[in-house]
Amino acid sequence: MKDLQNLDEVESVRNLLKASSLRCTPARIAVLIALRRAKSPQTHADLSNQLVPLGFDKATVFRNLTDLTQVGLVHRTELGDHVWRFEIREHHEDESSHPHFLCVNCGSISCLELGIVSETNLKKSAIIGRVSEVLVKGECVTCFAAK
Ligand SMILES: [Zn+2]
Ligand SMILES: [Zn+2]
């Protein structure tokens, strides 16, 4: 977050906000930039740890996450531990987003390519219900390598 004044990045985030008819407030810009730079879905606590030192309070971060989720710029996911995690929603993604990998050992979460579950299989699963989240569990490379 040191180079928050990276102008190209601020500009593209401003354009996203404008396209969603949200006002470009410093907090919204900071939240979006933090999410764009994140390598995995972030909790409200993760984001607060980054943004509170920059002068944004936790309630502001939370309110902005809610606003950004409502307009669809941010995707909110719950992976079985009752903690919301937030990430940038890519343009090509529908509501169900991409699958996530949860390490059962260290609890780390990684984004997976959409391809791990085929669109056809998702459609077939409609017999059971509407899929809102695909979660894959296992051991991450770090934990696996440590054995
Ligand atoms: Zn792990
Ligand atoms: Zn993800």
C-alpha of residue 42 to centroid of ligand 2, in Å = 9
Confidence (pLDDT) at 137: 93
CB 143 within 8 A of CB 106: yes
C-alpha of residue 96 to centroid of ligand 2, in Å = 11
C-alpha of residue 6 to centroid of ligand 2, in Å = 24
List, as ranges, residues with CB under 5 A of the ion ligand 2: 87, 111
Q: Which CATH architecture has domain 7-88?
A: Orthogonal Bundle (1.10)
C-alpha of residue 10 to centroid of ligand 1, in Å = 33
Domain residue spans of the chain: 7-88, 100-145
From CA 53, how far away is CA 40, in angstroms rounded? 21
CATH code, 100-145? 3.30.1490
C-alpha of residue 24 to centroid of ligand 1, in Å = 37
Which ligand is located closest to the Cα atom of residue 88? 2
Name the residue among 97, 38, 35 with its Cα closest to residue 61.
35
Which ligand is located closest to the Cα atom of residue 139? 1
Relative orientation angle of helices 26-37 and 44-51, to the nearest 10 degrees: 110
- Two tokens at 46? 């993760």
Q: In what order do the strands lie in the sheet with 84-88?
A: 42-43, 84-88, 74-78
C-alpha of residue 25 to centroid of ligand 2, in Å = 25
C-alpha of residue 53 to centroid of ligand 2, in Å = 25
DSSP state letter for 90: P
DSSP state letter for 16: H
Q: Alpha-carbon Rg of the chain, whole angstroms? A: 17
pLDDT tens-place values along the chain, 147 residues long: 455 567 888 999 999 999 999 999 999 999 999 999 998 999 999 999 999 999 999 999 999 999 999 999 999 988 888 899 999 987 656 655 788 999 999 999 999 887 777 778 878 888 888 887 888 999 999 999 998
